[in-house]
Amino acid sequence: MSSPHDGTHVPGSPGGSSAAGASRPGTARPDHAGAPVVEDHRPAEPDLEHMSLEEAVHLVEETEHEGRPPAAGPVSNVVTALVVLALGVAALFGSDALGLGTAAAPGAGTWPMLVAVVTVLIALGMLAVARRTHDAERFTGASVLVLAGLATMVVFVVLLPVIGFEIPAALLCFVWLRFLGHESWRLSALLSLGLVAAFYAIFVGALSVPIPHLF
């Protein structure tokens, strides 16, 4: 059966064609000027002006989770906590080897010991909530940067009692700023030297903390 206007077959006709002016979804159809118009199937933009606070928070959470690595499971959380705990315990023994001193006369291992104690407490807290943690990310290629940062800290600890803190600290800051933080060469060098100079002036010059140093 044909349309009285242009002879196009309507649905149900033997040809199975669409009625006049109709088009299939996702296909180009001519407008009144004869130019093809492609139908847009993209989702509509959210109406931010009339959105409730709960809907806005939900939208922000969805946006933040886009492109993130998959979540880590309980096993990964436990393994991570055990690694942190092992590092903290190793730092405790290393601090004791440097000499803890007393409250009135702190030794070279006083500050590392405090950091190690905090690390152990954090690791125990991670173990306690490992099965209830759902926002931790699974290890991916980006985790290599974390391992690289950890490796530089190990090198720093090894070199500290041998050649003092000045050169290892400057190199540590430079590597973190330039290669992990992607700062410029000039800014990385200036900040590294400035931080080491400030650390030396405060802890060695003003407080007389017996940290291994060259000068």
Q: Within a 10 A sphere around the Cβ of 160, how many other Cβ atoms?
A: 21
* 192 close to 210: Cβ distance less than 8 angstroms: no
Q: Within a 10 A sphere around the Cβ of 175, how many other Cβ atoms?
A: 19
Instruction: Report which residue type is found at 180.
Output: L
* 29 close to 36: Cβ distance less than 8 angstroms: yes
Listing DSSP states for 75-119 in one string gives HHHHHHHHHHHHHHHHHHHHHHHH--B-SSSB-TTHHHHHHHHHH
- Domain ranges for the chain: 71-139, 140-215
Written as tens digits, the pLDDT of the chain (215 aa) is 444 444 444 454 444 444 444 445 545 455 555 555 555 555 556 566 666 777 777 777 666 666 566 666 677 778 888 989 998 999 888 888 888 877 778 888 888 889 999 999 999 998 888 777 766 666 666 677 888 888 898 899 888 888 999 999 999 999 999 988 889 999 999 999 999 999 999 988 888 888 888 88
Distance CA 64, CA 147 (A): 24
Instruction: Report which residue type is found at 194.
Output: G
Each residue's pLDDT tens digit, 141-165: 667 788 888 889 889 988 888 899 9
* 188 close to 177: Cβ distance less than 8 angstroms: yes
pTM: 0.46
Measured CA distances, 118 to 9, 84, 144, 154 (Å): 79, 11, 24, 18
Q: Within a 10 A sphere around the Cβ of 115, how many other Cβ atoms?
A: 13
* 168 close to 213: Cβ distance less than 8 angstroms: no
